[in-house]
Amino acid sequence: MQKFSEIEYKRPNFETYKAEYFSVLEKLKVANTYENQKDLIYKINDLSNDFDTAINLIYVRHTINTEDKFYESEKEWMDETMPELSMLSLKYYEVLVKSEFRPALEKEFGEQLFTIADFQIKQTDERLVEDRKKENKLGSEYAKLLASAKIEWEGKELNLSQLVPFKVSKDRAIRKKAADAVFNFLGENVKELDRIYDEMVHLRHGMAKKIGLDNFVELGYYQMMRSDYNPKMVTKFRKKVQDLIVPLVEKLNKRQAKRIGLDALKHYDDGFRFKTGNPEPKGTPEWIIENGKKMYAELSPETNKFFDFMTKYELMDLVTKKGKSTGGYCTFIANYGAPFIFSNFNGTSGDIDVLTHEAGHAFQVYSSKHFKVSEYYWPTSESAEIHSMSMEFFTWPWMELFFKEDTEKYKFQHLSGALHFLPYGVSVDEFQHRVYEQPDMTPEERRAVWREIEMKYKPNLDYDGNAYAEAGGRWQQQAHIYEMPFYYIDYTLAQVCALQFWVKMQEDFKGAWKDYLRLCQAGGSMSFLKLVELAGLKSPFEDGAIEEVVAKVEKYLDDVDDSKF
């Protein structure tokens, strides 16, 4: 293993790769023993890992610097090639599900591999290849547009990530100015944002129709591998959030307004939680990483080994800078068994949130890289978010390293923030269902739908006259809606699971960690609800699951004297 910056990238020859892949696939079709077929499955996975390694090197290096012309060109090649790659996988999965040795293979690999194969077959079709290429191109246009933001701020030029600290300033005028700057940027680019999304919606609807589906909702669920829940269950879950969480968040908002000396909150006050200022890390990014080493060394032998690996090989790019994509993510460089964490540190408590969150993803894939089939490196998205959101809570005993005298303030903000997120999370999901159920809505109609949904889940949200936001434009800064359709309810389902882990930690931290470790090591070898059961958690869809955890979180928050903050 070498440092990430030293890993050599060379564009794979797709035609050569395809020929080798088909050669192995032909052998797999005629393999006359279980052992022979198993060995060929491993060979297919080795080939897939080779290509996936190159794809992830492109993706990481492009998002670190979207202005790098070489990797911009490679990203364009990647966008063109990925749909072709999916057709190779389709051929493999079609052979796999028809194997005469399927019972033995299921015993070896588990049923989930075949569930994944079935769902890939349902969503992959030769007729969709060119559409997928267009979809990737539109996603890249959106990401580049957001990364291109150059906001004039007190003589400096800032991107959207660099504005975040000003959005939580103690000075209300600065908070408003920063929030307005973001909305102004989006408003100035609204025609382009509308065009990109409108093309995406019609493209995706057309793809669904081509393969015989009514609309993109069903195809979206296939793409997200949702094998053990459906839209009806999700609708019921959203209603639970509306009935149980929204009133609690409104109560927390009143506490917040009182705490910061206001009669009522405006939208630019949402993120400003304490009159004395929000908790901030007490040092530089380098200092944060040093304290991260200590934290993970003490949390468990497994996390100690993991974080040593991440720092030794420089598998993190954490600080925001010019030309860097917004947001944060974790990916996996398969041939090196190496997770990679990307984020945009900006001096707020979010730096610690994103570090522990993405470290949760990274620790999971590091813990499950032992699987010999790449389908099991990662679980489905809602399962993966349990690892990340729960890691945020498992690291609570070490928050004093980062926040010192503001530790209790941070914990109050973090826990209440988990509740604040749920109404927004289900808003994003409901919006996407509405959009893809009515794909011919105009951009103006979509914004009206967003505003209607927004007011259902955040009834007292006040945009203080900002025309762009009041017209329903806020969703356009949420990259998932553009680039990863239907990937959002996942966070809310996982949040309920993570809060269950938080409750378990209060009672038996070691036992909770044991359950979490077992969950991480299982990777993607089971479906979402089976993984939830494996971890000793209740399904978020189960009656009483939300009620039980919310009652305990509410009691904790009620017992905190937040006036002292």
Quick check: is 259 in a domain?
Answer: no
What are the helix and strand counts (H, E) for the chain? 25, 5
Quick check: is 158 in a domain?
Answer: no
Hey, is 2 helix, strand or coil?
coil
What span, in angstroms and rounded, lies between the C-alpha atoms of 284 and 359? 18
Q: Say which residue the tokens 């909150």 belong to.
A: 265
Q: Which of 61, 66, 135, 57 is nearest to 326 (CA)?
A: 66
Quick check: is 125 in a domain?
Answer: yes
- Which helix (H) or strand (E) covers residue 372, if one does? none
pLDDT of 255 reads 96
Quick check: is 114 in a domain?
Answer: yes
pLDDT of 250 reads 97
Quick check: is 343 in a domain?
Answer: no
Quick check: is 126 in a domain?
Answer: yes
Count of domains forming the chain: 1
Structure tokens at 122: 């349902």
User: 338: which strand partners?
Assistant: 333
One pLDDT digit (tens) per residue for the chain, 565 residues? 899 999 999 999 999 999 999 999 999 999 999 999 999 999 999 999 999 999 999 999 999 999 999 999 999 999 999 999 999 999 999 999 999 999 999 999 999 999 999 999 999 999 999 999 999 999 999 999 999 999 999 999 999 989 999 999 999 999 999 999 999 999 999 999 999 999 999 999 999 999 999 999 999 999 999 999 999 999 999 999 999 999 999 999 999 999 999 999 999 999 999 999 999 999 999 999 999 999 999 999 999 999 999 999 999 999 988 889 988 999 999 999 999 999 999 899 999 999 999 999 999 999 999 999 999 999 999 999 999 999 999 999 999 999 999 999 999 999 999 999 999 999 999 999 999 999 999 999 999 999 999 999 999 999 999 999 999 999 999 999 999 999 999 999 999 999 999 999 999 999 999 999 999 999 999 999 999 999 999 999 999 999 999 999 999 999 999 989 9
CB 190 within 8 A of CB 477: no
pLDDT of 327 reads 86
Q: Centre a 10 Å sphere on the Cβ of residue 196 and count the other Cβ atoms it contains.
A: 19
pTM of the model: 0.93
Q: Which residue range(s) make up the domain with 66? A: 4-133
pLDDT of 152 reads 94
What span, in angstroms and rounded, lies between the C-alpha atoms of 500 and 506? 10
Amino acid at 286: E
Quick check: is 44 in a domain?
Answer: yes
pLDDT of 383 reads 97
Quick check: is 56 in a domain?
Answer: yes
What span, in angstroms and rounded, lies between the C-alpha atoms of 256 and 249? 10
Q: Which of 480, 476, 484 is nearest to 188 (CA)?
A: 476
pLDDT of 224 reads 97
Secondary-structure breakdown of the chain: helix, strand, coil percentages, each rounded to the nearest 5: 70, 5, 25
pLDDT of 326 reads 86
Structure tokens at 290: 């040093």
Hey, is 329 helix, strand or coil?
strand
